[in-house]
Structure 1
Amino acid sequence: MPGTSFDPASGAGLPPPVLVELPGGDAAPDGGVRVATYVLEPEGRSPAGDVVLCHGTPWSARVWAPVARALSRDHRVFLWDMPGYGASPKGADVAVDLVTQRRRLAALLGHWSLDRPHMVAHDIGGAVALGAHLLEDVEVASLFLLDIVTLDPWGSPFFRLVAEHEPVFAAVPGPLHAALVREYIAGAANHGLPDDVVATLAEPWLDAVGQAAFYRQIARLSPEHTAPIVRRLGAVRSPVRIGWADADPWIPVEQAARLRAALPGDPGVVTFPGRGHLVPLEDDAAVGRAVRTWLTEVVSGRV
């Protein structure tokens, strides 16, 4: 099992990515693709369990870095940049729809030889994780769903505009594109993130390949790919906790109650007051505590 010893107190970011080659066929219908992966392990102790973190759009595993460091004190933590994002390939030949991404996640868990890991997911990572569980038969020990994209309606007017005019946006002069991306990312957090954090999240999208990939991934995201997941939410087979920022400008906190009603077992909901859609970075300490509390409750059988 590949892994990286990691000191969560060091203040460092994620370790360098390890590129994993996933096969073609059912797991990756685009014919196989490399995936940037990261594994963090406790220092000097046996892990209490395995946790997989799934990011959303237009982010990468970087959005989880502070929470991953906290969880790696006593768990093995697995992260990945979905193809089309972060340090993974972002070329025009890389499929970035949600169906392909959920199949890649299922294949990646097999590569890591993970048996019923805990899954923590944010934004469209929630659709990917739930899709892998419900439609690709991936068994998980638990699900922590944070401000996820699954229920209708989703997809902002900006998403629809890009879908209709993707080539136009891809041809926007670089400086204007960079300003748009930074404003888009900052707005997700209600402009509550430091400029250097916004710049880190924007960086993968700013070269020529990244600019085209930024608009491509938006244009390929479709509610028709989440509809089959929504229809099966009542068939989730693991304990679930829902987390939501109550000032999320992209997905209102009211969706947390709707999601809770659609899932079995009356899952608990934890809210993060005054935080926006990028709550894993806006308040990583609170998110880390909530996830660690959840994992303790699952392991102890209190849920």
Structure 2
Amino acid sequence: MDLTERFDWQGRQVAWTRAGSGPAVVMCHGTPFSSRLWQPFAETLSRDFTVYLWDMPGYGVSSKHASHAVDFGTQAETFAALLQHWELDRPHVIAHDFGGTVSLRAHLVGGVPYASLMLVDVVAIPPSGSPFFRFVHDNPDLLGELPAYIHEAIVRTYIQGASHRGLRDDDLNALVEPWTGDVGQPAFYRQIAHFDTRFLEENEKLLPQLDLPVHILWGTDDTWIPPSIGTKLASLIPNATLDLIPNAGHLIHHDAPIPLTDTLRTWLTTVTSSD
């Protein structure tokens, strides 16, 4: 599922695609990733659902202009505009990492309606951010000037650390590639610099207002965002359900693809049974 379509919004170009037929399912990626994480799962689910993939501005193959904000609020506005462009009413949303904050904000603050929401190892409530993440947040311009080979080594090590089992070279290369070159390198540090915990704090206050089916999925070996955060998140959302996947880290897509696929299909089959 290559992202063959483009949506222009406020000077940004959002890459997207869709496949399949049936109830609409929209998948949101996080940082420092892209929709590539969701592609094999989207292809499988497209047998029964209409699945939408997109790269947020500043990520993947979407535009990466230095002057464009890539904070949670802007991404949530982009998501709302994209759903309107697709003419979707109450899609089923699946989000990973900071896709959680983006999808929650679009719904809780922007009033975008969803039929259901599945949150997978998400950035959604404080605290968040590893020591490396915080260091980059405070020094984006300095790090953006690193020699390319040092930068790539840093990004490879950082992303590899998100997997409990370890990534194959081809999978790691695919995740690192968007952050290389004259455009990708500064974009990597810029998206971390735009991180603002205020959005997480606002989300946390609004979580009790959620009135839709919510399922939370977490890897037991997620060292980026520990499962205790998932447990806390579930306790803050009315009637939310929680599953923990053993031997899976933050990149549950690579660590536990079969359990993830089974959980996605079971959840979507359940919540679409009345569509």
TM-score by length of 1: 0.88
Question: Distance between the aligned counterparts of 1:172 and 1:72, measured in 2?
Answer: 41
Q: Does 2:267 match 1:288?
A: no
Q: Does 2:197 match 1:223?
A: yes
3-state SS of the aligned residue for 2:52?
A: strand
Question: Distance between the aligned counterparts of 1:253 and 1:49, measured in 2?
Answer: 30
Question: Distance between the aligned counterparts of 1:163 and 1:283, measured in 2?
Answer: 30
1:235 maps to 209
Question: Distance between the aligned counterparts of 1:236 and 1:131, measured in 2?
Answer: 11
Residues 52-71 of structure 1 aligned to structure 2 (within 5 Å)? 52-71=26-45
3-state SS of the aligned residue for 2:38?
A: helix
Specify whether residues 174 and 119 from structure 1 end up closer, same or farther in structure 2 by C-alpha distance, changes over 3 A only: same
Q: Does 2:250 match 1:277?
A: yes
**Shift in Å, 1:222:** 1.4
Question: Distance between the aligned counterparts of 2:52 and 2:230, measured in 1?
Answer: 26
**Aligned residue pairs, count:** 274
**Shift in Å, 1:288:** 1.5
**Shift in Å, 1:73:** 0.9
3-state SS of the aligned residue for 1:247?
A: coil
User: Which letter maps to 1:271?
Assistant: L
2:187 maps to 213
Where in structure 1 are there 5+ consecutive unaligned residues?
Answer: 1-13, 25-31, 42-46
1:23-60: per-residue Cα shift (whole Å, max 9, x none)?
Answer: x3xxxxxxx3110111112xxxxx33000000000000
User: Which letter maps to 2:14?
Assistant: V
User: Which letter maps to 1:278?
Assistant: L
Question: Does structure 2 conserve the Cα–Cα contact (< 8 Å) formed by 1:64 and 1:281?
Answer: no
Question: Distance between the aligned counterparts of 1:50 and 1:116, measured in 2?
Answer: 8
1:10 maps to none
Question: Does structure 1 conserve the Cα–Cα contact (< 8 Å) formed by 2:218 and 2:227?
Answer: yes
Question: Distance between the aligned counterparts of 1:299 and 1:40, measured in 2?
Answer: 17
Question: Distance between the aligned counterparts of 1:63 and 1:17, measured in 2?
Answer: 17
User: Which letter maps to 1:276?
Assistant: G
Stretch of structure 1 that moved more, 159-168 or 111-120: 159-168
Residue identity (%): 44
2:241 maps to 268
2:17 maps to 38
User: Which letter maps to 1:213?
Assistant: A
Question: Distance between the aligned counterparts of 2:127 and 2:222, measured in 1?
Answer: 15
Question: Distance between the aligned counterparts of 1:299 and 1:91, measured in 2?
Answer: 38
2:91 maps to 117
Query: Alignment partner for residue 104 of structure 1, among 78, 98, 118?
Result: 78
User: Which letter maps to 1:279?
Assistant: I
Specify whether residues 115 and 264 from structure 1 end up closer, same or farther in structure 2 by C-alpha distance, changes over 3 A only: same
**Shift in Å, 1:157:** 1.5
1:187 maps to 161
**Shift in Å, 1:191:** 5.3
Question: Does structure 2 conserve the Cα–Cα contact (< 8 Å) formed by 1:66 and 1:284?
Answer: no
Question: Distance between the aligned counterparts of 1:194 and 1:285, measured in 2?
Answer: 17
Question: Distance between the aligned counterparts of 2:198 and 2:130, measured in 1?
Answer: 15
Question: Does structure 1 conserve the Cα–Cα contact (< 8 Å) formed by 2:3 and 2:15?
Answer: no
Question: Distance between the aligned counterparts of 1:288 and 1:191, measured in 2?
Answer: 17
1:142-197: per-residue Cα shift (whole Å, max 9, x none)?
Answer: 00000000111101211221122111100110001011111111000035110110
Question: Distance between the aligned counterparts of 1:290 and 1:228, measured in 2?
Answer: 29
Q: Does 2:8 match 1:21?
A: yes
1:29 maps to none
User: Which letter maps to 1:20?
Assistant: F
Question: Does structure 2 conserve the Cα–Cα contact (< 8 Å) formed by 1:151 and 1:259?
Answer: yes
3-state SS of the aligned residue for 1:96?
A: coil
Question: Does structure 1 conserve the Cα–Cα contact (< 8 Å) formed by 2:3 and 2:53?
Answer: no
- CA RMSD, 1 decimal: 1.1
Question: Distance between the aligned counterparts of 1:256 and 1:160, measured in 2?
Answer: 21
